[in-house]
């Protein structure tokens, strides 16, 4: 059974960089079939696609966040990562990593991590 697990600091100061890693177990990250994505959900609000990455390193970002987002993949560790720079309180959210099941680089997402709450506060 494929499992994804997010890890990283739960508290980030304003203007600093948010860094999260997603570790994949129970399956291959380097499969040519799948993309891997990050999605976030501010408290009490809806979901927002942040971006996706292919095992080769090809990336696809939401234009609204593109100037601040960098995603990378380490197939040897079965991990992919997210960096979001210059964070503000508006970036406070539960951050999910997920696998793209088919069809496109940004959905649908069939396997999800449990999510990690990142709070931006001084």
Partner 1 sequence: EIVLTQSPGTLSLSPGERATLSCRASQSVSSSYLAWYQQKPGQAPRLLIYGASSRATGIPDRFSGSGSGTDFTLTISRLEPEDFAVYCCQQYGSSPATFGQGTRLEIK
Positions touching partner 1 (CB under 8 A) are: 45-49, 60, 62-64, 96, 98, 101-104, 106-110, 112-115
Least gap, CB of 13 to partner 1 (angstroms): 26
Alpha-carbon distance of 93 to 72, in angstroms, equals 21
Q: Which pairs count as long-range contacts for 29-32, CB under 8 Å and 24+ apart, including other chains?
A: 29/55, 29/73, 29/75, 29/78, 29/79, 29/80, 30/55, 30/75, 31/55
Q: Around Cβ 120, how many Cβ atoms within 10 Å?
A: 19
Nearest residue (CB) to partner 1, 15 versus 64: 64
Alpha-carbon distance of 47 to 86, in angstroms, equals 21
Nearest residue (CB) to partner 1, 21 versus 75: 21
Least gap, CB of 105 to partner 1 (angstroms): 8
Nearest residue (CB) to partner 1, 26 versus 108: 108
Least gap, CB of 63 to partner 1 (angstroms): 6
Least gap, CB of 110 to partner 1 (angstroms): 5
Nearest residue (CB) to partner 1, 63 versus 76: 63
């Amino acid at each position: 059974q494929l499992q994804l697990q997010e890890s990283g600091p739960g508290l980030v100061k304003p203007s600093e960089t948010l860094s999260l890693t997603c570790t994949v177990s129970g399956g291959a990250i380097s499969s040519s079939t799948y993309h891997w994505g990050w999605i976030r959900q501010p408290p009490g609000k809806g979901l927002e696609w942040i971006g996706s990455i292919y095992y080769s390193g090809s990336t696809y970002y939401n234009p609204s966040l593109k100037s601040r987002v960098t995603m990378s993949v380490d197939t040897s560790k079965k991990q992919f990562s997210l960096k979001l720079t210059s964070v503000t309180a508006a970036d406070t959210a539960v951050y999910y990593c997920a696998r793209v099941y088919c069809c496109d680089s940004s959905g649908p997402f069939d396997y999800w991590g449990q999510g990690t709450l990142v709070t931006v506060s001084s």
